[in-house]
Amino acid sequence: MKKEKIETQEDYIQSLKELDHQVYYRGDRVADVTEHPAIIPHINAAAMTYELARDPMHRELMTAASHLTGHEINRFTHIHQSIDDLLKKVRMLRLLSHKTGSCYQRCVGLDGLNALYSVTFEMDQKHGTGYHKKFRDFLQEVQDRNVMVVGAMTDVKGDRSLAPSAQDDPDLYVHVVDRRDDGIVIRGAKAHQTGAVNSHEILVLPTITLRERDKDFAVAVAVPADAPGVIMIFGRQTNDDRKMQGEIDIGNARFSLVGGEALVVFEDVFVPWERVFMCGECDFSGLLVERFATYHRQNYGACKGGLADVLIGACALAVEQIGVAGASHVRDKIAEMIHLTETVYACSVACSAQGYRTPSGAYYADPLLANACKHNITRVIYELGRLGHDLAGGVIATLPSEQDLHSRTVGRYVEKYFKGVKDVPTEERIRILRLIENMTGGTALAESMHGAGSPQAQRIMYLRLGNLEQKKKLARRLAGIKDVE
C-alpha cells in the first residue's frame, strides 16, 4: 500500500484496492474486497469514520490533537490524554452507530493501541526494554497515515482446560516459532476479527494471562494486512446470502450489520524487531489483556446504545404503520426500550468520567464500571431484541422476499396484503420490518454477548475489582462487630 495519508472515503477505498492481501470467501480468493458484495457494506461503515472527521459539524468529536506531534488526527488513532478524551470517545461511538446502524470496526484497533501504549511504558520501567519508543514510532505512522488497525486479540484456544504450551497443537495460540537477528517469526490464528479484511494493519495481542512456561505466546506485534503468510477467511453471517440478492431484504443495505469478522491465519509470518512490542514478558500479559478489555468494554453502552436508538426508531415507525402507536401497552414498551438504552449508555459515560491517568500519561477508564457496562449489554441487548420482536410482530420472520414484492405475478398480492395504514406505502413498511429483523438477528446478538469477552469474564473481574473485603468491613462496622486485625 502507498504511504499517502487517508483522508476521505475515496482515499480509504483506494487504499484497500492497493492491498495485495489474501482474503477468502466460501473457499475462493477475493480479488478486490472493495467490489465484493459480502464485504462492501462493512467497508461503507468503516468509511464513515473518515467522512465524519471531515464534516464541520462532527470534526471536533471525530478528531483530536496528537500528543506526539500536535497535528490533528482521527480520534480512532488517538491515545486518550484526559477524561474529556474518554467521554468524547463514547459520544463518537454513539454518533457513528446512529449514522451506520452497524459496526464501524475501528474500535478494537483503537483500544489495542491505547492498551499497548501504557503497558509498553510500564514494561520498560520494570525490565529496561525499549518497547515503548518502538511503539510510539509505529503509533505516529498510524496517525500520520490515518490507517485502519484491527486489534487481533482472540486466539482459537483449542482445549480450554489446557495452557497454550500444553496444547496438542501449539498453533491454537499465536506464538513465536523463531527468533532471528532481524526479527521474529509467528504462527497461529486469531478468530472473529472484526474489520480484518478491510484494515491496513493487524495489531496482535495475547488473549490470556500467561505463565513462564508459555512465554513464547506472550507476543505483541504489528503486522501489515498484506504481509506474506497472512491469510484471512471471511466468516458467515445470518442471512448473508441476501447481500447477493437485492437491497430490501438486507434491512440495512448500505452498512449491513456487525463487523465482517474473519479468521486471520499467521503462517510463519516474519515481524521485524521494530514492530515487536512484547516478546516473552509473560508477567505483563495479564495487564495488557485487562487494559484492552477495559477500554473495549467501555464502548458497549455507547455503540450498542446508538444501535438501540435506531432500533427504537424503527419500532416506533412499525407501530405507527399499523395504527397502534397510541396503545398504552405499546407506548410502555417503547418507554422501556428508551430506559434500557439510556441505562447502558450511562455505564459508558460513568466508567469514562471516573477514568484516571496511568504512569505513561495516557488515561484509562474505570475497569470495574467498564465491566459493568459490558455485562449489562449481554442482558439488555436481548431484552431490546425481545421488545422489538414483540412490537414488530411475527411478520418480521415470515415476510415474502423482495423478489416477490416486485414480481409481475404475485407482487400485487404482497402489496395488497401487507398494507398497513392508508398513507404508508407497503414497501416502506417492509423496509422498516427488515431493518428490525436485521438489528435483532442471530449474528448481532452473538456479538453483543461475546464481543469484548463473554459474561463470565466480567464476573471474574467483578470479584477481582469489587473490593469485597472493604464491603465486609462496612457491614461489620454498621452491625457493631469489631474488626479483626
Catalytic residue ranges? 103, 107, 194, 261, 296, 300, 303, 447
SS3 418: coil
Maximum Cα–Cα distance for the chain, whole Å? 84
Cite the DSSP H helix spans in 57-168: 59-62, 83-100, 107-127, 131-145
Q: Could you write out the DSSP letters of every residue in 341-401?
A: HHHHHHHHHHHHHT-EE-TTS-EE--HHHHHHHHHHHHHHHHHHHHHHHHHH-GGGGTPPP
Q: Report the alpha-carbon distance of residue 74 to residue 64 in Å, rounded.
A: 6
Amino acid letter for position 300:
Y
Q: Which residues lie across from 22 on neighbouring strands?
A: 231
Q: Report the alpha-carbon distance of residue 18 to residue 74 in Å, rounded.
A: 21
- Residue written as grid cell 480468493: 29
Angle at 383 between CA 379 and CA 389, to 5 degrees: 145
Name residues whose C-beta falls within 8 Å of residue 294's C-beta, 6 or more positions apart in sequence: 351, 364, 365, 366, 367, 370, 371
Amino acid letter for position 361:
G
Cβ-based burial of 436 (10 A; exposed 0-12, middle 13-18, buried ≥19): buried
User: 108-135 in b/e burial notation, b at 16+ Cβ within 10 A?
Assistant: bbbbbbbbbbbbbbbbbeeeebebbebb
Q: How far is CA 129 from CA 174, 276, 333, in A?
A: 22, 11, 56
Name residues whose C-beta falls within 8 Å of residue 70's C-beta, 6 or more positions apart in sequence: none
Q: Report the alpha-carbon distance of residue 381 to residue 440 in Å, rounded.
A: 9
Give the DSSP letter of residue 338. H
* DSSP H helix total and E strand total for the chain: 15, 14
Contact (Cβ atoms closer than 8 angstroms) between residue 366 and residue 355: yes
